[in-house]
Amino acid sequence: MYKLIQIELYKIFRRPRTYIAFAAITALITIIQFGLKLDGNTYAEFMMRDLSSSITIDGNILNGYLVCYIMLQLLLVHVPLLIALIAADMISGEANMGTLRIMLTKPISRTQFMLAKFAAAAVYTMMLLVWLAILALFGSMLIFGTDDLFLMKSSYVVLLKNGDIFWRYVGAFGFAAVAMLTVAALGFLLSVFAENSIGPIVATMSVIIFFTILSTLNIPIFNAIKPFLFTTHMNDWKEFFDMKVTDTNESIIGSVLRPEKIINSILVLLIHIVGFVTAAILIFKKKDILS
Amino acid sequence: MKQLLTFIILFALHTTVGAQDVTALINKVKAKLDAVNDYEADGKMKTDVAFIKAPLGRVKVYFKKPNKFRLKKEGGISLLPKGGVSVNMNSLISTKDFVAIAAGESVVNDTKVKIIKLLPGGDNSDIVLTTLYIDEANLLIRKAVTTTKENGTYDIEMTYGKFANYSLPDKVVFSFNTKDYKLPKGITLEFDDNKKPETEAEKLRNKKGRVEITYTNYSINKGIDDSVFKM
């Protein structure tokens, strides 16, 4: 099994397409960091224009932690596309090149073959997230320094102490890993149905866009199905950046406002991953391989 | 007619004597405050504003005559209500150009106090009206309610302890009105709408903000460099 995963990883990293995602993330993060370094204070002033009429805010607002948060907000919506580029190509790519039949002549079960393929896609997804973390978090910490994290929510603001932030990012990236694995699993499932890569990649993105719109629309008729859509839960990494308060409105350092929401979202996403991968294996096992 | 004239003269005399009394009291309070040329204090600041979630912060407060004042958070970001916190007792009564009006007596934290209303003489002052609650026996300002042109009205309540001889409080509580805070969800990228609508009582409570500073240590008349007050 380990050997199979190694082979699959070798194939992934031999393709130039794999590096598009890493290059895209590098370019996007560098541009955002460059822009914020040059004119970040104007951006911060714009964000705080309502608040600054009644509150004086003193300190290094635009520090590495805030820059990373801004980037995660923007990028974690688009990273699924980059993951779909590889995950949705795992089976359909082989079918397209006509290598699927040859591979299945080897003495391995189809389940093993599929699990190795998914494991390789998962490793790629993790590597992409680690790269994102290195550039967005550590890069920003290096360029902008660290300080307290001042976050503006839609109806309140949160001030997190410098020493109470890093573990939250570890949690948020861990959560994002599960969310992105769900996307990989969906792409992987859809790749079983096609014999070229474009179809599953576009289909994966279409499903994500469609579900995201349903998740964000505030129409009562859709509220009943929202908890079952994985896109509803994918953004819950932000829950790590909210704190509980005491009766006198004093924030409790080290607390998370709704830990049960995070656990629930992780469970929903894990169920989706297991469901998508199981479905992909079952369908593939019964599939007549003609290419 | 004679009776009416006598009443008017007596009333005018009483008012003049009363005004002289309260002005004398304020001057005594001011003289006590004047003993402090500068101070540096360590404190803990607690912010209680409905739309702000912030932990306790350590602060350093600097004051230098006549009314230089700076509150600095030790590292990190500080959120302070505009105007209010920078007001200290010296700035409230530092001006000589004011009209003092006696407004009766009251009790603040079990201490009998005299209520004095201060009206600034000039038009340029940001302060419109200050009501002082003065503990006459100890020459301490226990409470002040200040209305400003720019920053609304705020209450300042002081509790004194071991530095009462210098008129320096152990604890100061600022209460002020807050404005509504809302940011479009498109900017914050939050589309979760699980929040319950606020009740009327909650809305009313949310309009009041409080900043509480508990001082742990004062360093008085040791000299402070002017650069400390530069922002």
Q: Which domains does chain B have, with CATH numbers?
A: 2-229 (2.50.20)
Shortest distance between the Cα of A276 and any Cα of chain B, in A, equals 26
Q: How confident is the model at residue A275 (pLDDT cuts 50, 70, 90)?
A: very high
Closest CA to A251 of B73, B214, B212, B52: B52
Chain B residues in contact with A56 (beta carbon < 8 A):
78-82
Phi then psi for residue B67, to 5 deg, are: -155, 40
Q: Which of A42-56, A77-91, A226-240 has the lowest mean pLDDT?
A: A42-56
Does position B175 have pLDDT exceeding 50, yes or no?
yes
8-state DSSP, B198: P
A55·B79 Cβ contact <8 A: yes
Burial track B28-56 (b if 16+ CB lie within 10 A, e otherwise): ebbebbeebebbbbebebbbbbbbbbbbe
Average pLDDT, chain B: 76
Least confident of A8-17, A53-62, A150-159, A183-192: A53-62
Q: How high is the mean pLDDT of chain A?
A: 88
Alpha helix ranges (H) inside A192-258: 198-216, 220-223, 230-234
B200-218 confidence digits (pLDDT tens): 555 545 567 888 889 988 8
Distance CA A51, CA A156 (A): 10
Contact A89, A199 (CB under 8 A): no
Q: How far is B56 from chain A (nearest CA, A)?
A: 7
User: Quick check: helix, strand or coil at residue A219?
Assistant: coil
Chain B residues whose beta carbon lies within 8 Å of the beta carbon of residue A54? 81-82, 178-179
Contacts of A165 in chain B (CB under 8 A): none
Which of A2-6, A143-147, B68-72 is predicted most confidently? Answer: A143-147
pLDDT band at B17 (very low <50, low <70, confident <90, very high): very low
pLDDT at B195: 54
CA–CA gap between residue B60 and residue B105 (Å, rounded): 34
Residue B127 has pLDDT above 70, yes or no: yes
Contact criterion met (CB below 8 Å) for B170 and B160: yes
Q: In chain A, which residues have their Cβ closer than 8 Å to the Cβ of B192?
A: 235
| B55: nearest CA partner in chain A | A251
Residues in chain B: 231
Instruction: Flag whether residue A61 sits within 8 Å of chain B, measured between CB atoms.
Output: yes
Q: Provide the pLDDT for residue B190.
A: 64
Residues of B contacting chain A (CB within 8 angstroms): 46-56, 72-73, 75-82, 178-179, 181-185, 187-193, 195
**What residues of A are in contact with residue B182 (Cβ under 8 Å)?**
50, 154-155
List, as own/partner pairs, every contact residues A24-29 make where C-beta atoms lie below 8 angstroms and the sequence separation is at least 24, other chains included: A24/A82, A25/A75, A25/A79, A25/A82, A25/A128, A25/A131, A25/A132, A25/A135, A26/A131, A26/A135, A28/A71, A28/A74, A28/A75, A29/A71, A29/A75, A29/A132, A29/A135, A29/A136, A29/A139
Q: Which residue did the predictor score with more confidence, B61 or B21?
A: B61
Q: Torsion over CA of A44, A46, A50 and A51, rounded to 10 degrees?
A: 10
Q: Which two tokens stand for residue B223?
A: 């000299």
How close, in Å, is residue A179 to chain B by CA atoms?
Answer: 17
Residues 118-147 of A with CB under 8 A from B: 147
- CA–CA gap between residue A65 and residue A85 (Å, rounded): 29
Q: ipTM score of the complex? A: 0.71
**Chain B within 8 Å of A54 (Cβ-Cβ)?**
yes
What is the Cα–Cα distance from A59 to A41, expressed in whole angstroms? 12
**Closest residue to A216, CB basis, from B77, B79, B191:** B191
pTM of the prediction? 0.81
Q: What is the pLDDT of residues A126-149, one digit of tens each?
A: 999 999 999 999 999 999 998 889
Query: In the predicted model, what is the mean pLDDT of residues B68-96?
Result: 70
Any idea what DSSP says for residue A162? G
State the Cα–Cα distance between residues A106 and A125, nearest whole angstrom: 27
Using only C-alpha atoms, chain A has a radius of gyration, in whole angstroms, of 21
Q: How far is A165 from chain B (nearest CA, A)?
A: 12
Residue of chain A with shortest Cα separation from B190: A154
Size of the A and B interface in Cβ pairs below 8 Å: 115
Q: Which residues of B touch A235 (CB under 8 A)?
A: 189, 191-192
Closest A-chain CA to B179: A54
Between CA B82 and CA B150 the distance in angstroms is 9
Mean pLDDT within A12-35: 89
